[in-house]
Copies of this chain bind each other. A is one copy, B any other.
């Protein structure tokens, strides 16, 4: 068995092909070229002759393991991978649970970690008693229970769901030193299965002149929003499954509206009523929270679409770089208009960019994971990502964005300070020579 001699790493260290400044690499250069990555890790930790020795048994390899449970849960070594909560004692106000993007990977958010905002706690709904009514300007008012609805034609689609207030900390005039979870944790991505809303409206015999629906939930707030009939016929569903199983209580059990690409609050949870009407109802959330004053004194009403966005999750604030060498920069990109077309990544604060690999399948209105090989030289660096969607929209640069939309001193300690909605500009992570990662504006 050949032994690897100390000090010979350099001989395997590859002549990696750069595609942009400060160490961004061609993915092609990684393939079939020998020890390019271990070499690029710059330490001998991963190259050792000891591998040729017989393996030593760890304690868990010596005894019968734990019982196989009816429901699987993560290892006890993953207890830090949880949602962060804004209201853990269930005081009489709203509560946020944020997805830990810096600790997960791939594109799916597991149900345990899907973000959730609840304005009056989680209603404990008996699905055998819950009803959904479709009424208003229809020929035949309809009432559904979960069992009836489950017999209807179902469709399944991957889709992101994002609160209009996600990324609000980015409106801060100085970059807040918080994780991607704290900044961007109010967006998640799941596979939703439900009944096309168009089928329910056709069944009810919707008045062809009607333009709006009022969707109302069974929570104690009776949270309700106006939804254009056009969106109902485009791609809306009444969702009853999330990643295969019934909806989580915090995500609308037993049924919710799912409006692909539209702001989270409109995707009414615990759905109990769809009333077909002529005019929007001007509910609290649409008339106040989501009709936000802009710097020019005007407000955007019915600003439903979640615009194209991306952010790097690995590496990011909360991680520490383990010395110079190879890293796989990755993150998520998504757009309420459709598919992601391109994600560019920079490692030099935006001076040069290279196109990231997009993980197939690239699905409309869903997370796309992007990845970019990077050899960090141990010097200060700023990494950032920027996305484009198939409709031609681009993620704006921060200076352009805040010039249009404004910024504020502290959007977190006082969440009533505006602006705090629909932030979709670039996130930048600054890495210093010690490998510490900060949130920066570049």
Contacts and interface: CB of A to CB of B under 8 A. Distances in A.
A51 B143 contact: yes
Number of chain copies forming the complex: 2
A245 B129 CA distance: 34
Contacts of A148: 41, 45-46
A193 B51 CA distance: 25
A414 interface: no
A72 B249 contact: yes
Given A12-B140, A72-B111, 14 more contacts: A1-B141, A35-B205, A47-B140, A49-B141, A50-B141, A51-B141, A60-B124, A61-B123, A104-B241, A106-B156, A106-B193, A110-B110, A151-B326, A361-B361
Contact of A191 (B62, B106, B129, B326): B106
B122 A219 contact: no
Given A51-B135, A97-B70, A245 B65 contact: no
A199 interface: yes
Contact of A118 (B47, B65, B147, B363): B65
B244 A77 contact: no
A154 B328 contact: yes
B116 A72 contact: yes
Interface of A: 1-4, 12, 27, 30-38, 41, 45-52, 55, 58, 60-78, 81-85, 87-90, 92, 95-97, 104-114, 116, 118, 120-130, 133-136, 139-144, 147-148, 151-156, 191-193, 198-199, 202-205, 218-220, 222, 240-241, 243-246, 248-251, 253-254, 272-273, 322, 325-328, 330, 359, 361, 363, 369, 371, 373
Given A83-B70, A191-B107, A58 B129 contact: yes
Contact of A249 (B66, B155, B198): B66
Contacts of A27: 153
A196 to B, nearest CB: 9
A330 B154 contact: yes
A290 to B, nearest CB: 21
10 contacts: A3-B141, A27-B153, A46-B144, A60-B125, A65-B124, A66-B124, A72-B113, A77-B128, A108-B191, A154-B330
Nearest to A124: B60
Contacts of A76: 124
A124 B78 CA distance: 12
A153 B328 contact: yes
A240 B3 CA distance: 28
A85 to B, nearest CB: 6
Contacts of A111: 72, 110, 112
B359 A139 contact: no
Nearest to A114: B72
Given A123-B60, A127-B77, A243-B106, A66 B82 contact: no
Indicate the member of A71, A90, A218 with the most B CB atoms within 10 Å: A71
Nearest to A372: B153
Nearest to A72: B248
Contacts of A104: 241, 244-245
Smallest CB-CB A-B distances: 6 pairs: A65-B121, A51-B141, A67-B90, A60-B123, A70-B82, A68-B95
A362 to B, nearest CB: 10
Nearest to A27: B153
Indicate the member of A104, A112, A143, A253 with the most B CB atoms within 10 Å: A112
